[in-house]
Structures are given as structure tokens and as C-alpha cells.
Amino acid sequence: MEPEKEGRIVRYLDERIRLKALMSFLLNEPMPGGARWAYVFGSMVMFSLILQFLTGMMLAFYYGGTPDHAWDSVNYIDHLTYENIPVGRMIRGLHYWGASIMVILVGLHLLQVFLWGAYKRPREIMWLVGVLLLAMTMVAAFTGYLLPWDERAYWGTIVGTNMIGLIPIVGPVIKSAIRGGVGLGALTLSHFFTIHTMVLPTLFILFVGLHMVIFRRVGPAGPFGGDPLTLESQKEFFYPRQVLMDSLGMFGVFLLIAMLAIMVPPGLEAMANPSNGAYNPVPAWYFDWIFQLLKVIRPEILGVVGLPALIGMILIFLPFADRNPERSPLRRPFSVLATLFVLASMIVLSILAEKGYKKLVPLDRDAMARGKVVFDHSGCLGCHRLQDRGGRMGPDLSEEGLIGHPQHWLVTQFVNSKTNFPNSPMPNFTFLKPDQLHDLAQYVSSLGRAGWPDPTKEGNGEK
């Protein structure tokens, strides 16, 4: 664009919306102590939220928010391509991993504010809004977890809503309200979709705006150390150095999320089956520590309600209880060490929870295809049922792959089922060779897992 024409456009906008004054307000924010990498966390959180809004809107164009269409629509998104580029899977991966990164960034930002003592007077209200935004981020993560309507989402939400039901007095009411009844169904999915795509985005816009208004009114707290006069002399504006640092931080966040979306796509398990009582539910990783508390604390209400409620109360009343103007973490050893201990405990509990989950058997497509041939030729459908085909003498194998039986367990079952079940009427398939047993175990381990061939059809299910 020619400089003269660009100048006319700027003058036109400046006359009508005072563009120069607006840009001056946004970019000429004073930064105590100068531009610092420590200031980038707020912008990184904002970027991750905007990324969630954009990718969420893209996904909503193709999402069907009913139990009979939700899974199919997500599966369609996963296979949506443009000139052989998996666009749908990429966008879903950005949204999926963006949620996890946003949870981490909000937690780190809040932790930084605490360590720097930036929650103290006159920034108490800004801290409370930040705590509320953290809670909203967790609610957004929880409500979005159900939307794919696969086995993982369904049973994980069953566990999560059961935890809510443990809250005294109001818990059962809240549980019934968000489920829309006793169990999970069409109303549950509708409630979660509405909260996730309408209620929460509106609240995010309102409270992020409020957070920014308060921030501009009270100003940045600045570094906790140093002489105030020295920090004042080192003051510089938000533009240009801090803008560059924030931009690089946001670009780094995008690269990380994009890399995870490409290398570790979110995947999709079989469609939710309310009758699959054998499924081992797994919550999202950011709720692992609460899930693990159920195993180590009794009664359960202390782990599910007591400790999280205590942490929430501490976060809310912290700026009003801590009236000491000292901000250095070195001069607040008790509160800082206590916070780091709680954080370390949450990390340890999460690791223990992840290690305790039953892992699904890794699959090899070629071995699985050969295993299907062995399965068909061995007459397994004479006793076992797959979807709407087969006999009923043996267990239904339609979702055997989601149970997580190890391969050696399955091979033993094929060769001598009485080892695992003494009264089993299943014949011993000792005539199968070791490689055939391996392939058969691979095929059985794929049953019910999305992204793998439909057991009732030939040549279906490209991953």
C-alpha cells in the first residue's frame, strides 16, 4: 500500500475512532523494571484462549451435539482432508492440546503471581478474577471432555459427575442438573455442549476483559526485588521490546501445540456404550490427582471435596489474610514452601494415577489383518458375538480391545482357557502356530477401538 494512501486511512480511522489514542493506550503501558521474559505468561494465556475460541468455532461447524450424531461427526472431522492434508484432525488436535496447554499456562501464571507477591494490595480483586478464570478453565476442560461421546469421554464423565455428587447437600442436586437425569444421555450432552460453547465463552470474554481493565488501572506489580527508585528509572513501555517478547512467547506456544497435534493426535475410541461395564474409566490428566486421592484418602468425601475445597478457600482468602507488604518469596518461606509442597503432591499423585491406568495393547495393522483371517477360519463367531453377529455361548467380544487384556493373557486364553477360567467350555486352539496366536491376539485387541477396522466388515476403518 502506498504511504500516502495508508496515511489517509489512518487519518480517517483516527477521526472516527481515535485510533492513535487507542494504540497509544495499548502500547504505551509502563513496565516497571523494563521488559522481561517473566511478563510473557499473561499474553501466552490470552493467545491460548483465542486459539481455543477459533478452533472451537471451526469444530462446531461440523459437530452434531446429540448421542446418535456426536461420535460420527467427530469421526468425520478426524478424517476430513483437503488435498490429502488431514485438516480436520489437525484442527481437532490444536483444540485438544490447546486445552491442556492452557490449563498449564493458567496454573503457571497464577503460580508466578503468587511467588512474586503480586496478589497483595492493591491487586486483591485482580487476583480473585484470576482464580475465577482458573476455575472456569477447569470447567471448560471438563465439559469439553464429554463431547466426542466415545467410551473414554462417557465413562470419564460418569466418574467426574459421581465425584460432584459426593458434595454434601448440593452435590446430588448439581449432579442431577448437569446430567439432566439419573444417567448420561441426550440432555447431558446438550447441557455440556451449551456450557462449553455458549456460557463459558461469554464468561471468559467478560472476566478476561475485567481482568485487563483492573490490570491497567492498578498497573503491573513489577519485580519483587530492587530499589523502587531504580525500578522507576528502568521503566520502559510495553512497545517495542515487551511486544516482541510476548510475540515470541505466543509463537512458541503455537509451535508446541501444533507439534503435539501432529505427532500425538487426540484419537477416538469406540462410540459410548452405556452397557459396557468392563470399561476402565480414565479422567483427563488435569484431574488425575483428584482421581488418585480416591484411592489413598478415606472417607472419599475428604479427597474429592475436602482438599480441593480447602485449596479453593486458601486461594480466595489469601490476599486478604496476607497483609504483609513484603513480596519477596525468600522472605515468605512458609507460604511459598507450603504452596510448592501442594504442587509437588499434585504432580506425584498425577504420576501415580497415570501409572495405575490399564494401558491398551499397541496394535500392528498388518498383524491385525492376518488375525482377522485366523479369527474367521477358526469359527470364533460360532460362540462369540461381534456387534449383531455370532453366537452367545461365549463372552461378547465387541469391545474386548477396550478392556486391556495383555497379549500374553489372550494367547494363554486361546491355547488353554482353563488357566484363566477353570470352568471355561472354550476348546483349546493348540493347532494354531505361535505367529497365528500373536496375530489373533492383535485382532481381538483391536475390537471396539475406533480408528481400526469394523470387525463385521471387510476393508473398512482406515486409521
Instruction: Mark whether 260 and 376 lie in a shared domain.
Output: no
Q: Which pLDDT belongs to residue 211?
A: 94
Of 388, 365, 391, whose CA–CA distance to 379 is shortest?
A: 391
Task: Answer yes or no: is 18 within a domain.
Answer: no
* pLDDT (mean) for 21-48: 86
Residue span of the structural domain in which 47 resides: 32-356
What CATH number should be reported for the domain holding residue 400? 1.10.760.10
Instruction: Mark whether 124 and 240 lie in a shared domain.
Output: yes
Instruction: Mark whether 163 and 310 lie in a shared domain.
Output: yes
Instruction: Mark whether 331 and 381 lie in a shared domain.
Output: no
Q: Which pLDDT belongs to residue 255?
A: 97
| Residue of 294 and 202 predicted with greater confidence | 202
pLDDT digits (tens, 9 = 90+) for 11-20: 888 888 888 8
Last residue of a domain, one of 303, 331, 356: 356
Last residue of a domain, one of 324, 356, 388: 356
pLDDT digits (tens, 9 = 90+) for 318-370: 998 888 888 888 888 888 898 889 889 889 988 888 777 766 677 788 888 89
Instruction: Mark whether 369 and 396 lie in a shared domain.
Output: yes
Omega into 240 within 30° of 0, i.e. cis? Answer: yes
Give me the phi and psi of 49, to 5 degrees please. -65, -45
Instruction: Mark whether 308 and 214 lie in a shared domain.
Output: yes
Q: Which pLDDT belongs to residue 358?
A: 63
Last residue of a domain, one of 329, 356, 383: 356
Task: Answer yes or no: is 62 within a domain.
Answer: yes
- pTM, whole model, 2 decimals? 0.76
Task: Answer yes or no: is 8 within a domain.
Answer: no
What is the number of domains present in the chain? 2
The proportion of the chain whose per-residue pLDDT surpasses 70, expressed as a percent, equals 88
Task: Answer yes or no: is 13 within a domain.
Answer: no
Cell numbers that stand for 296 in this block? 489413598
Task: Answer yes or no: is 246 within a domain.
Answer: yes
* pLDDT (mean) for 34-59: 93
* CA angle (304 as vertex; 300, 307 as ends), nearest 5: 110
Q: Which pLDDT belongs to residue 423?
A: 79
Instruction: Mark whether 421 and 287 lie in a shared domain.
Output: no
Instruction: Mark whether 40 and 142 lie in a shared domain.
Output: yes
Q: Is 208 exposed, middle or buried (0-12, 13-18, 19+ CB in 10 A)?
A: middle
Q: Which 3-state string (H, E, C) describes the chain?
A: CCHHHHHHHHHHHHHHHCHHHHHHHHHCCEECCCCCHHHCHHHHHHHHHHHHHHHHHHHHCCCCCCCCCHHHHHHHHHCCCECCECHHHHHHHHHHHHHHHHHHHHHHHHHHHHHCCCCCCCCHHHHHHHHHHHHHHHHHHHHHHHCCCEHHHHHHHHHHHHHHHCCCCCHHHHHHHHHCCCCCCHHHHHHHHHHHHHHHHHHHHHHHHHHHHHHHHHCCCCCCCCCHHHHHHCCEEHHHHHHHHHHHHHHHHHHHHHHHHHHCCCCCCCECCCCCCCCCCCCCHHHHHHHHHHHHCCCHHHHHHHHHHHHHHHHHHHHHHCCCCCCCHHHCHHHHHHHHHHHHHHHHHHHHHHHHCCCCCCCCHHHHHHHHHHHHHCCHHHCCEECCEECCCCCECCCHHHCCCCHHHHHHHHHCHHHCCCCCCCCCCCCCCHHHHHHHHHHHHHCCCCCCCCCCCCCCCCC
Q: Lowest-pLDDT range, 114-118, 208-212, 424-428?
A: 424-428
* pLDDT (mean) for 199-220: 92
Instruction: Mark whether 346 and 263 lie in a shared domain.
Output: yes
* CA angle (90 as vertex; 84, 95 as ends), nearest 5: 160
Task: Answer yes or no: is 12 within a domain.
Answer: no
Instruction: Mark whether 63 and 149 lie in a shared domain.
Output: yes
- Residues 168/305, Cβ–Cβ less than 8 Å: yes
Instruction: Mark whether 220 and 285 lie in a shared domain.
Output: yes
